[in-house]
Structure 1
Amino acid sequence: MNLAVKYLQDAAFKKLGKKNTNLENPYYEKVPVVKNGTVVKYQKKERAIPPGLTDDEAKILKSVRKRAYRWDMCFTFCCFGFVFGWSAIFGLVPVIGDFFDFFMGMMLLKKASRIKGGLPKTLYARMFTNILIDLAVGFVPFLGDLADAYFRANTRNAWLLDAYLTAVGEARMANTVQNPDGQDKVRLPDELRLAPGDRDVETGVEPSGIVAPAPVTPSPAANPRPAPAAPMASIPGASAAIAPLRSMTGQRKGREVQDPRDQRKGGAVQDPRDQPKRSWR
Structure 2
Amino acid sequence: MNFVVSVLGKKALGRLKDKHIEVNSENPYMEKVPVHNRRGEIVKYKERERPIPAGLSANDEKILRRVRRKAYSWDLSFRFCCFRTRFGWSFFVGLLPFIGDFADLLVAMHIMKIASAVDGGLPKSLYAKMMWNVMIDFGIGLVPFLGDLADALYRANVRNAWLLDAYLSEKANALQSGKVEDPDSGKTVAVPNSLRHAAPGGHPDLETGTTQAPPPTYDSSRRGRNGL
Per the shorter chain, which TM-score range? 0.7 to 0.9
Name the amino acid aligned to 2:24.
Answer: N
- The separation in 2 between residues aligned to 1:186 and 1:108, in whole angstroms, is 31
Q: 1:160 to 1:80 in 2, by over 3 A?
A: same
Are the equivalent residues in 2 in contact too, given 1:177–1:185 (CA < 8 A)? yes
The aligned counterpart of 1:101 is 104
Residue 109 of structure 1 aligns with an amino acid whose one-letter code is M
What's the counterpart of residue 200 of structure 1?
Answer: 199
- The gaps in structure 1 that reach 5 residues or longer are 206-281
Gaps of 5+ in 2: 205-228
Structure 1 residue 79 corresponds to structure 2 residue 78 = no
1:181 CA displacement: 5.7
Q: Give the TM-score normalised by the residue count of structure 2.
A: 0.83
- Size of the aligned set, in residue pairs, is 201
Whether 1:13 aligns to 2:13 is yes
Is 1:138–2:137 an aligned residue pair?
Answer: no
1:163-202 equivalent positions in 2, closer than 5 A: 163-180=166-183, 183-194=186-197, 199-201=198-200
| One-letter amino acid of the structure 2 residue matched with residue 11 of structure 1 | K
Corresponding residue for residue 224 of structure 1: none
Is contact 1:51-1:201 (8 Å) kept? Answer: no
The offset of 1:43, in angstroms, is 0.7
| Secondary structure at the counterpart of residue 23 of structure 1 | coil
For the residue of structure 1 that corresponds to 2:202, the secondary structure is coil
**How much is the aligned-residue C-alpha RMSD, in angstroms?**
1.6
Higher helix proportion: 2
CA drift of 1:203 comes to 2.8
Give a deviation string over 1:231-277, Cα, whole Å, max 9, x none: xxxxxxxxxxxxxxxxxxxxxxxxxxxxxxxxxxxxxxxxxxxxxxx
Higher Cα Rg, which structure: 1
Task: Tell me which residue corresponds to 1:117.
Answer: 120
Aligned residue for 2:24? Answer: 22
Identity value in percent:
50
* Matched AA of 2:11: A
Post-superposition CA distance 1:41-69 (Å, at most 9, x none): 11110011101101111011101100000
Question: Partners of 2:111 and 2:69 in 1: how far apart?
Answer: 10
Normalised to the residue count of structure 1, the TM-score between the two structures is: 0.68
Following the alignment from structure 1 to structure 2, what is the Cα–Cα distance between the partners of residues 77 and 37?
34
Report Cα offsets for 1:121-153 as digits up to 9, x if no partner.
111111111111111000111110111000000
Ranked by relative contact order (alpha carbons within 8 Å, sequence separation 6 or more), the top structure is 2
Structure 1 residues 50 and 127, CA, compared in 2 at 3 Å: closer, same or farther? same
- Against the structure 1 CA distance between its residues 24 and 182, is the aligned structure 2 distance closer, same or farther, given a 3 Å change threshold? farther
Secondary structure at the counterpart of residue 186 of structure 1: strand
CA deviations on 1:13-51 (whole Å, 9 max, x unpaired) are 011112211111010000111223322211110011101
Instruction: Give the residue type in structure 1 aligned to 2:52.
Output: I
